[in-house]
Structure formats: structure tokens, C-alpha cells
Amino acid sequence: MAAYGIIFLLSFAASLNLPPEFKRCRFTDKRRDECLKDAIQDALILLRNGLREFNFPKLEPIEVEGMTIGNGNGTVHLDQYYKNVKIYGITEVKIDNVRTEDDGNIMKLFLNGTIPEVRMMANYDITGKVLLIPIHGSGKCTIKLSNVFCSPAVIAEHYDANGIGYSKVQQFITTTIPEKVEFDFENLFGGNDIGKEINKLINQEWEIIFHDLRPAIETALGAIFKDITNIIYTKVPFNDLFPQ
């Protein structure tokens, strides 16, 4: 998910004299995609805590102001609201492959990878029912996603400004498919023993609950990295981002 943001962060840094520890890839290189795979993997480590001299935001954690999830379907009906969300683990992705396409007008970037563990920590407010059992609570929560397959896709459009070529991201789409999700909601039913049992019940139904939560997470991450990339991508000439 974060890896495509890294591509553009790398590119922006290149126009500001990219430090020698960052790998660069030429756009005309026949092995460009393989080069980018290695470059992004290395950059994730280097940029985990941000780079102040380049005004890079830290990627651990990624912060989201809030997410709202409406009532689900079937046996789970939960209104979920999360605020002050912090997402950890994105930079631990193991990249399997990178693929790029460019027809002169549109550039597309696709990535596949796996993240061993993603943790989302937030303040929550939840009401509804699970298996007809009423549920309510508010407090702190931790949501852990294990072995997450991620597949971001970025679509950018080329344009000219004062005779100089630039690009602007039109779509940043993320896909996350975890092998397992574990929920820990503190203070359900005031934190009593019933709350502990409800947590167990929620975890038994994790696939249904995450099905409702997943679009909000993917939308939030897509919006964050679209903003990051466009701040950079619309200011740095394309040929500076990807040398010919």
C-alpha cells in the first residue's frame, strides 16, 4: 500500500540530490520494473521514520483522522467509528513484483506484496449486534491483520506546464486481503467479563466484520498516498522523476 508513495517520494528526493544510499532506476531501462522492486524495498527501510531534510512524512505509523463504517449485513450489524487512527507495519511489506505501463499519456504502476503484520490502533465507538447479541462500547482498540496480501495500483496522467512535462495521480487504489484479523476492543460493556466474551465472539466472526471495515481502510490509505504523491508529482518534472 505505502510502496507506491515511496516511488514518488524517491523521485522527489532525486530532484533534490537524492542521497547515495537510495537506488535510482532509469525509465528506459528494460529491467526498469525489477529495478523499481529493489529500489522500493530498500527505500521503505530508509524512509520509515521520514527524512526531515526532504520534508518526508514518517510512514510508521500512518495516521488517519477518522473512519466511519455503517451497519453490515447478515449476522453482524455494527456501526463502527474510529478516530485518531494509527496504522503500523506498512513498511514491512515484502515486495513480490512491480509492473509499470506508459503509453505517453497515462502511466500505470502496479505492485504485489505481503505484509507480515499490520496493526491499527485507534479510539473507537461501536454499537449494534453480533449474532443477535446487542453490543456497545467505546475506548481504545487494536486491530491486527496477519499475512496481508496488498496490491496497490496508481494511475497518473501526463500533462505539460510551460513546456515542461509533469504527471498527476488520478487514481490510487489499494487492495488488502489478510489471512486473519484479530480485534481487541477495550471497555466493551464497561470492560466487564461480558466484554471479554463479546471480544471472543467478534473474533470468531472476524471475516464478516473486516468485510465492512476493509473499504474504509483502503479508501483512507488511497487518499493519503494520492495526496502525498500529487504534492510531489505535480511539482517535479517527469524526466526528473524517471531519468530517460
In the prediction, which pLDDT does 29 show? 87
In the prediction, which pLDDT does 12 show? 46
In the prediction, which pLDDT does 135 show? 87
Mean residue pLDDT across the chain: 83
pTM of the model: 0.81
> How is the chain split into domains, by residue range?
3-241
Q: Which segments of the chain have a pLDDT < 50? A: 11-16
- Best CA proximity match to 225, nearest among 158, 166, 174, 151: 174
In the prediction, which pLDDT does 5 show? 56
- Best CA proximity match to 172, nearest among 191, 193, 187, 157: 157
In the prediction, which pLDDT does 15 show? 44
Whether the bond between 61 and the residue before it is cis, its omega within 30 degrees of 0, is yes
Here the cell at position 176 is 488488502
Radius of gyration for the chain, computed over Cα atoms and rounded to the nearest angstrom: 20
* 8, HSE (Cβ side, Cα atoms, 13 Å): 30
In the prediction, which pLDDT does 180 show? 95
In the prediction, which pLDDT does 195 show? 86
Q: Check: CB of residue 232 under 8 Å from CB of residue 158.
A: no
3-241 belongs to CATH 3.15.10.30: yes
